[in-house]
Chain A
Amino acid sequence: EVQLVQSGAEVKKPGESLKISCQVSGYRFTSYWIGWVRQMPGKGLEWMGIIYPGDSDTRYSPSFQGQVTISADKSISTAYLQWSSLKASDTAMYYCARLKVGDDSGWFDPWGQGTLVTVSS
């Protein structure tokens, strides 16, 4: 069974750094892209970026380029999303999901359970 298990909820102060994780099992980690999606409180889904763990090729949404860093550790089948200096506006639920790619298409399946990040002074 393919599973993506995310790290637990975090409460941080503005200006602090943070790295959340997404550990996968049930398939070859290096063979599929992994994506990150933000959902702010009461709002919709926003695509942040993707990484191909096989060669660490990373692509970012223009909205998130320079704001976050996506990485992966092949040795432990884990993808990461990190911030160097959090802002209150980073408060959101963050999901990871496996990206399957077809001709001119891609779809996210399955999804992790989500990591709630709260940034408050």
Chain B
Amino acid sequence: QSALTQPASVSGSPGQSITISCTGTSSDVGSYNFVSWYQQHPGKAPRLMIYEGSKRPSGVSNRFSGSKSGNTASLTISGLQAEDEADYYCCSFAGSSTYYVFGTGTKVTVL
């Protein structure tokens, strides 16, 4: 099972919106409705940002939103802030033999 494909890096200026894509296959993202997204600052543990495709856990800013179309899921960060600079990973269920697969990760830089 290969990792889901994410762009290596995405950047934007403060206040702008950026979108991170997460491309899988019909065996993972395309077959199961819900992708989760994680934020990881350097030297820290990952933090859940989006679950079940578009739901935000308590405490996560509404500037973060998720969506999916076909085999590709997306995370959008609106009103980009300096604190959003981090690595972001998607994760999808991939069936009862592989179970879960993470994306390759995207480094978000705030210019």
Contacts and interface: CB of A to CB of B under 8 A. Distances in A.
Interface of A: 35, 37, 44-47, 50, 59, 61-63, 95, 97, 100, 102-114
A47 B91 contact: yes
Contacts of A108: 36, 38, 46, 48, 91
B45 A35 contact: no
Contacts, number: 79
B3 interface: yes
Contacts of A104: 32-34, 93
Interface of B: 1, 3, 32-34, 36, 38, 40, 45-48, 51-53, 57, 89, 91, 93, 97-105
Given A45-B102, A59-B99, A61-B98, A105 B46 contact: no
Contact of B45 (A46, A105, A106, A113): A113
Contacts of B52: 102, 105, 107
